[in-house]
Amino acid sequence: MKKTALASALVSLAGLVCVVSPALRAQNADASKITPDMIQTASDIPADWKQPQGGFDYVKRDVMIPMRDGVKLHTVIMIPKNAHGLPMLLERTPYDASGMAPNNSPHMADAVWSGDKDWADGSTILVWQDIRGKYGSEGKYIMTRPPVGPLNPTTTDDTTDAWDTIDWLVKNTKESNGNVGMIGSSYDGWTVAMALLHPHPALKAAAPESPMIDGWMGDDWYHYGALRQINLDYFSGQTSKQGEGQTIPRDSYDDYSNFLDAGSAGAYAEANGFKQLPWWNRFSAHPAYDAFWQNQALDKLLVAHPSNVPTLWLQGLWDQEDIYGAVHAWEALKTAGHGSNNHLVMGPWWHSQINRDGWNMGPLKWPGNTTAQFRRSVMIPWFNHYLRGTPLAKPLPEAMIYNPTEQHWDDFTDWKVASKQSLTPLYLQADKGLGFEPPSGSGDSYVADPAKPVPYLPRPIPAKNEDAWRTWLVHDQRFVVDRPDVLSYTTPVLSKTVRLEGAPIADLFASTTGTDGDFVVKLIDVYPGSDPNDPAMGGYELPISLDIFRGRYRKSFAEPSPIPANQVQEYKFRLPTVNYAFKPGHRIMVQIQSSLFPLYDRNPQTYVPNILFAKPSDYQKATVTIEHGADGRSAVLLPVVSDAASGH
């Protein structure tokens, strides 16, 4: 800038100051008019804000309930206004009790989360509690804290905490009638099952929904030894903070790439700081079904400590997270002679869908809202019968299971446990056929390559896609049918209905050039090629039951052993329970493969002591041969029933 221009600018600025200065002087002069009530030096946030609730139709109390060891658990109690003589419904959760009533509404039904809306009609006191060590509760959090005993040398567990909580509620909630019911899904269902090991006398009814019962055999952590590695996010989210921790950061949108690039599940976890997590260190040290897992198996513990509490065991037919627990707990109790107060309910639902709308399961549409209908017409009246003495329109059957093809509920007076089923072999045949007649031929082979595992959903598979995750068990399997490492066996078009009631059993005879390997078996309903009423379902390949089995456990879940290379071995394992009718015009398909990635970790196909920490060099291709001739008649054993023999 030239000197003359600079001088001109300074003159202009001085003039501006002269213009502004009187206004500033006037503003400063106004300070004499400031009164003491205008000045605030303390925080504008009051120490104890109380929202007026005169128009609310409920009263909400936040309390800390003392346990027998002095630890206090944060509990939220929602009481209908002017309540008197009402029962209480308790849910114990690691997922933030305060979040169960997330909406600041004066109306109870609008304030609570979706799972409790049908309960919030002014007739029930709702109680939510943070379990020990989570969110607002004191104490130490231990993942699915084992019962007091060999794995828990303390004097408290979730059984004692439930007992102490109910005892306090009965004595300190004057608006109640002294009767308590417990409900909860997934981990919350596990807390219900734990309470049943030594129930408080005031616990009159219970409903574990999709409960975690055996994390190794078939619920969240493993399925028959195969690691459900996408649950590593749950480990960090649940155990890195007392509140909600973070999931593992992703390099790629596609989890298939993320887990494949990481190598083993253990390498992926520990690269993301999991060595800091005590739960991971215990978990990863016990890949086999040893005493660590056996002493936590709740189906066995429930039989050893049976209760007289009427119990509804609820399960989704396509539960993508905990498809094992409720069915096996109910079967164990029935087999041990405790069937009279235990009932099994299986709806056409994904995990915890019982607490949300149930109009459909992915592409499968139902004639009504199956979850709301069940809650209102069956579950709540059943609870009311035991909590307030109202009569039932009809007794609840032993088992109540939805039939997805005929789209109605079936009541069973004698639902067969798996060990008592009558099974019909559906044999793998030559030329990829499938039939009830004995097979001929030799076998079929494929190359299983750990570098190119079979995905469980079409790629890309994002880490966070709730809709895809919830419904993956009903995804159309045509996306893998042409892969060379997937064998698909199909019946001719059915001329009559094939009705199944029970648990199919996979019975494979197979050899591999490796020394370990996984086997995935899917039972599939193949729809006719066209459907004028629903064109998108034309040719649909609907899985109705599938699971994975880790080959090293073919002889013993507790003591794994290498697979002898090139020798035929039998792999026999149970598939999830069904109540299903294959219709005329459809076909039945069985698919077999060696991976279901990245949901399950890759088997290196070389025997190593702990697959979680397999090295890159351990992952080797293997040729797998599925026999269906003289060396072994591979089949899926089906619980086929005639209409006359059906138990409903």
Q: Identify the bridge partners of residue 315 per DSSP, sorted by sequence position.
A: 346
Is 275 within the bounds of a domain? Answer: yes
Tally of CB atoms within 10 A around 316? 30
pLDDT of 7 above 60: no
pLDDT value at 14 more than 80: no
Confidence of residue 31 (pLDDT cuts 50, 70, 90): confident
Residue 626 scores a pLDDT above 70: yes
Q: Is the pLDDT of residue 498 over 90?
A: yes
Residues 184 and 229 in one domain: no
Name the nearest CA neighbour of 77 among 149, 15, 170, 143.
Answer: 170
Q: Give mean pLDDT, residues 186-203.
A: 98
The secondary structure of 415-467 as a DSSP string is PPPGGG---EEEEE-GGGBEESSPP-S-EEEEEE-TTSPPBSSSSP--S--HH
379, 395, 412 — which closes off a domain?
412
Residues 622 and 174: their CA atoms lie apart, in Å, by: 67
Q: Is residue 116 part of a domain?
A: yes
pLDDT at 523 over 70: yes
Mean pLDDT of all residues in 134-155: 97
Question: 531 lies in a domain?
Answer: yes
| Contact between residue 351 and residue 186 where contact means Cβ atoms under 8 Å apart | yes
- Examine residue 66 and say whether the peptide bond preceding it is cis (omega within 30 degrees of 0): no
Q: What is the largest CA-CA distance in the chain?
A: 110
Predicted local confidence at residue 51, as pLDDT: 85
- Indicate the residue among 367, 397, 412 that finishes a domain: 412
Residues 6+ apart with CB under 8 A from 592: 486, 487, 489, 508, 519, 520, 521, 522, 626
pLDDT band, residue 28 (cuts 50/70/90): low
User: Is 46 part of any domain?
Assistant: no
Output the domain CATH number for residue 554.
Answer: 2.60.120.260
Q: Same domain, yes or no, for 499 and 545?
A: yes
On whether both 487 and 553 belong to a single domain, the answer is yes
Q: Tell whether 491 and 558 lie within a shared domain.
A: yes
Say yes or no to pLDDT of 15 above 60: no
Q: Is 464's pLDDT higher than 60?
A: yes
Encode pLDDT of 279-299 as tens digits: 999 999 999 999 999 999 999
Question: How confident is the model at residue 648, as a pLDDT?
Answer: 64
Residue 218 pLDDT > 50: yes
pLDDT tens-digit map of 560-579: 999 999 999 999 999 999 99
Q: CATH number, domain at 254?
A: 1.10.3020.10
Q: Is the pLDDT reported for residue 333 higher than 70?
A: yes
Pairing of strands 587-593, 487-490: antiparallel
- Cβ neighbours, 10 Å, residue 304: 9
Considering the domain architecture, whether residues 181 and 87 belong to the same structural domain is answered as yes
pLDDT exceeds 50 at position 494: yes
Q: 336 lies in a domain?
A: yes
Q: How far apart are CA 271 and CA 62, in angstroms?
A: 40
Q: Within 13 Å and on the Cβ side, how many CA atoms surround 141?
A: 22
> Does position 615 have pLDDT exceeding 80, yes or no?
yes
**Residue range 471-485: mean pLDDT, rounded:** 97
373 and 486 assigned to the same domain: no
Cβ neighbours of 584 (radius 10 Å): 12
Q: Is there a single domain that holds both residue 465 and residue 525?
A: yes
Is residue 12 a part of any domain in this protein? no
- Verify that 285 and 302 share a domain, yes or no: no
Domain that residue 186 falls in: 58-215+297-412
The answer to the question of residue 192 being in a domain is yes
Question: Which uninterrupted H or E stretch holds 294?
Answer: helix 291-294
> If you average pLDDT over residues 300-304, what whole number do you get?
98
| Structural domain ending residue among the three candidates 256, 272, 291 | 291
Residue 492 confidence (pLDDT) above 90:
yes
Q: Check if the beta carbon of residue 536 is closer than 8 Å to that of residue 363.
A: yes
Residues 489 and 596 in one domain: yes
Can you tell me the distance from the alpha carbon of 540 to that of 119, in angstroms, rounded to the nearest whole number? 38
Domain count across the chain: 3
Residues 6+ apart with CB under 8 A from 173: 77, 79, 88, 125
Q: What is the pLDDT of residue 27?
A: 53
- Claim to verify: residue 387 and residue 438 sit in the same structural domain: no
Q: Name the band, by pLDDT with cuts 50, 70 and 90, for residue 647.
A: low
Helix extents (H) in 345-433:
370-374, 380-388
CATH at 148: 3.40.50.1820
Residue 491 lies in a domain: yes
Check whether residue 239 and residue 165 sit in a common domain: no
- Backbone torsions φ then ψ of 409, nearest 5 degrees: -80, 140
Give residue 1's pLDDT. 46
Q: Are residues 190 and 332 in the same domain?
A: yes
